[in-house]
Amino acid sequence: MPLRPERGQAAGSLLLAGAFLLPTAFPQLFSWIGLLLAVPVFLLLQNEEEARALRQLRQGLLAAGAAALLLGHGWWFLFLLAAAPLAWTLHRSAQSGADPAAAGGAGLAVLSGCWLVFWTLRGLLTGVNPYASLLADLDSSLEQLMVIYRSSGELSGDLLQELELAAAALRKILPKVLPGLLASSAVFTVWLNLTVSSGLLRRLRPKQAPWPEYRLWRLPDNLIWLLIAAALLAMTGAGGLETAGYSLAAVMLLLYFFQGAAVFAALLCRWNVPVFWRIVLYIFAAAQGCGILLLTVAGAADTWADFRKLAQNGQPPSRS
């Protein structure tokens, strides 16, 4: 027996509330769910009439927010709430016919803005600079790790000296790369929600899928100049320019790793590799440093080489 509209709406609201409440109430166990919270919101917006979907979203978030306040996890819930604007942006991009790169760029702008507002607001209300606090915590954790190594007595003098040198080098470079690592976390979050949302929608409702298969996704060709500019700034810049170069390089390398993964998927599809072995190869490539490097290089080189012509029987790949 099908659910009545009122019951269906209540069920949708409860599912959304649960999705947001789990990582809020139990961050030690379910914090990973926070990376994917835009997925259920996006699917709801795509599959329901917009006004109805927004009502369910509002009711679910209000219920989860109230529970988070009672549990004393209000700040964490507010941080996770950035998934809702991200999902709305991806939904609007899908409706407007934007390609995956444009949708991801819009989502990245919105998510970065939400995170910036959150951390600025928290810093003002708590009187603690979040970035300086994070940098100090990382430095303190590194020092504590070295204290443990020194007191263990299990390491040789030469090995301990090498670790000391490595720790000193890491302390020196950490302030230069930390902004890029934070920016890359936003890029990764958008990419993860975009790819999972697109994949699920293609499986559940193929006719409503707004984007092609992941193996056909590609970045705009002119983005390669940002990677070249980042490398130049990192090598020749000083102070803020050098930090900007490292940060931009981290973001661009991650983006080209994602494009390299799409190239890899296209080639495996072209060679008719069974699904099981594709999964094994994906895991192997992502777990090996050389595999990550090769995929990143392949993603950047695809700007000129257009490897995915092989994946479509000699026909030029879709630029969508």
What pLDDT is stored for residue 4 in this prediction?
A: 47
Q: How far is CA 159 from CA 141, 145, 146, in A?
A: 20, 14, 12
Judge contact between 193 and 86, C-beta under 8 A: yes
What pLDDT is stored for residue 156 in this prediction?
A: 75
Secondary structure (H, E, C), 35-78: HHCHHHHHHHHHHCCHHHHHHHHHHHHHHHHHHHHHHCCHHHHH
Q: Is 288 helix (H, G, I), strand (E, B) or coil?
A: coil
pTM given for the model: 0.89
What pLDDT is stored for residue 9 in this prediction?
A: 66
Instruction: From 130, 164, 169, select the one nearest 145 (Cα to Cα).
Output: 164
Q: Which amino acid is at 148?
A: I
Q: Which amino acid is at 84?
A: A
What pLDDT is stored for residue 127 in this prediction?
A: 92
| Per-residue pLDDT tens listing for the chain (320 residues) | 444 455 556 777 888 999 999 999 998 889 899 999 999 999 999 988 889 999 999 999 999 999 999 999 999 999 999 999 999 999 999 999 999 999 999 999 999 999 999 999 999 999 999 999 999 998 888 888 888 878 877 777 778 888 888 888 888 888 888 999 999 999 999 999 999 999 999 998 888 889 999 999 999 999 999 999 999 998 887 778 888 999 999 999 999 999 999 999 999 988 888 989 998 998 888 888 898 999 999 999 998 888 877 545 444 444 43
Instruction: From 89, 90, 82, select the one nearest 113 (Cα to Cα).
Output: 82
What pLDDT is stored for residue 250 in this prediction?
A: 93
